[in-house]
Structure 1
Amino acid sequence: MTGQDSKERIVSFGFEDVTETEKVARVKGVFRSVASRYDLMNDLMSAGVHRLWKHDAMNRINPQPGERHLDVAGGTGELGRAFLDLADKAGKRRGDTRQATAIVSDINDAMLEAGKARSDNARWGDRLSWVCADGQKLPYPDKSFDVVTVSFGIRNFADRVAGLKEFRRVLKTGGRLAVLEFSHMTAPILQDAYDRYSFAVIPRLGELITSDRDSYQYLIESIRKFPDQQTFKSEIEDAGFSQVSVTNYSGGIAALHFGWAV
């Protein structure tokens, strides 16, 4: 190991401890492996409930005509197209013809290619764009966006605090941040039952659908390593966000953290 490598921070990759560089490389490998079946697996793992969580999150964001949206770790573009759809509906109600735009940013090129291939994304033309970028080092000037979202992606960051600071940097004053992530159940007895289900079923399902058990084993482990709702709320506040709120979904299986750049 070189002197430079020896100074790298050690972070978790599921239940393993690895360097930040190794985590980035291994996360890329995970999502490159599952990209073609990513949306299907999300539906199977949550029985489709993740779509309700995202719908509620997007209503909380309240997209408006002319706004710019950045979806970090945006994968196949689900939040980006939902943002544009709701912004257009708001404009139609008020007679506002300004067009919102959305950028799907992801560190994994395979996920972006899977998104570009979806027919429901093609209808938006150049209003929905795709950028391969690291969420911890976003290639945008300060105060570029009205809304930044990340859905089930921030736990895969090598340094989520660095990511949160980047989100704050690229948001305009008055901009909104919405982070939807798997979290911790509000009742310990439910957490125990959910853990048993997750570890017993989801890796096997991943093996059946994607022929990749190990990637889904990591994803389950990464959920368990993610901080609880109040700890993560404090991290968002420390990154410079105000009026940060937490909304638990399905007893805390997932949680929406919402904050303002003021």
Structure 2
Amino acid sequence: MTTNTTHFGFKQVATEDKVNLVRGVFDSVAGQYDIMNDLMSLGIHRIWKRVAVQLSNVRKGEQVLDLAGGTGDLTTLFEKRVGPEGQIVLADINSEMLRTGRDRLIDRGLVGNIRYAQVNAECLPFEDNTFDCVCIAFGLRNVTDKDAALRSMHRVLKPGGRVIVLEFSHPVDKITEKVYDFYSFKLLPKIGKIVAKDEDSYRYLAESIRMHPKQDELKKMMENAGLERCEYFNMTQGIVAVHRGYKI
């Protein structure tokens, strides 16, 4: 009997095992996730997230799904845009990340128009045509079946709604690529060992970025999922990209 496999970082694992392996990574780093994001990106991740929210064109009164929302950074930004008339669903497959995000949002006093849901992006438990925007930031690369996830996002969008994918991507020049590789594979795991006491998880995170589809490939995947007017915006020399597509 043939066993279906997929990648977990640079390793091949049984497809059915990847969800639990990814869950283990984020269970381990949840408590230090925000600190590590600052260290990994030198704080630039905050700018990347603001740009993604701007490109979402979210307005007052709209319904937003913040997938793989983790510790709630994007939800905080979206909440300012939708106002009390709108609503955000902060969703994550990982209970530890979701709990951390909920606690932090409550501490910030954001309680009125935010709901929480533990979900798998590949099979979202929402009705068709529910959301004006579905955003997934730094989460798509951890999804086992990305095509299924993109189809699911398309399904729950309202006509005229948009999918926003903010993700680490592939540098557009060789110099940036070499510097980025040195940082990712030599320095990042050591930082993870010192700060989060977890070198292996941060080695996986670096590997998962390299296994993620390149910009044009992800754009094509979004089109294949039914999204239209798909485009992407490189930031920091392509280290990160925002992809955007619409449901017509």
| TM-score band, normalised by shorter chain | over 0.9
Correspondence for 2:217 among 231, 245, 248: 231
In the alignment, structure 1 residue 73 sits paired with structure 2 residue 68 = yes
Distance 1:39 1:12 in 2: 26
Question: What displacement does 1:87 show?
Answer: 2.7
Q: Aligned-pair RMSD on alpha carbons?
A: 1.3
SS of 1:139 mapped into structure 2 = coil
What amino acid maps onto 1:244 in structure 2?
C
Distance 2:28 2:112 in 1: 28
Question: What displacement does 1:128 show?
Answer: 1.1
In the alignment, structure 1 residue 47 sits paired with structure 2 residue 42 = yes
TM-score (ref. length: structure 1): 0.92
SS of 2:6 mapped into structure 1 = strand
Correspondence for 2:179 among 188, 193, 208: 193
Match of 1:150? 136
Match of 2:231? 245
Runs of 4+ in 1 over 2 A off after TM superposition: 119-122
In the alignment, structure 1 residue 173 sits paired with structure 2 residue 159 = yes
Match of 1:100? 86
Distance 1:190 1:240 in 2: 33
1:74-99 CA deviation, whole Å, 9 max, x = no partner? 111111121110233xxxxxxxxx61
1:179-208 CA deviation, whole Å, 9 max, x = no partner? 000000001232122101111111111111
Match of 2:95? 109
Match of 1:24? 19
SS of 1:110 mapped into structure 2 = helix
Give % identity.
Answer: 41
SS of 1:136 mapped into structure 2 = helix
Distance 2:156 2:141 in 1: 20
Question: What displacement does 1:121 show?
Answer: 5.7
Match of 1:93? none
- Alignment: residue pair count: 248
Equivalent pair of 2:105/2:111 in contact (CA under 8 Å): no
SS of 2:120 mapped into structure 1 = coil
TM-score (ref. length: structure 2): 0.97
Equivalent pair of 1:20/1:159 in contact (CA under 8 Å): no
Distance 1:203 1:211 in 2: 10
Match of 1:11? 6
Q: Which structure has the bigger radius of gyration? A: 1
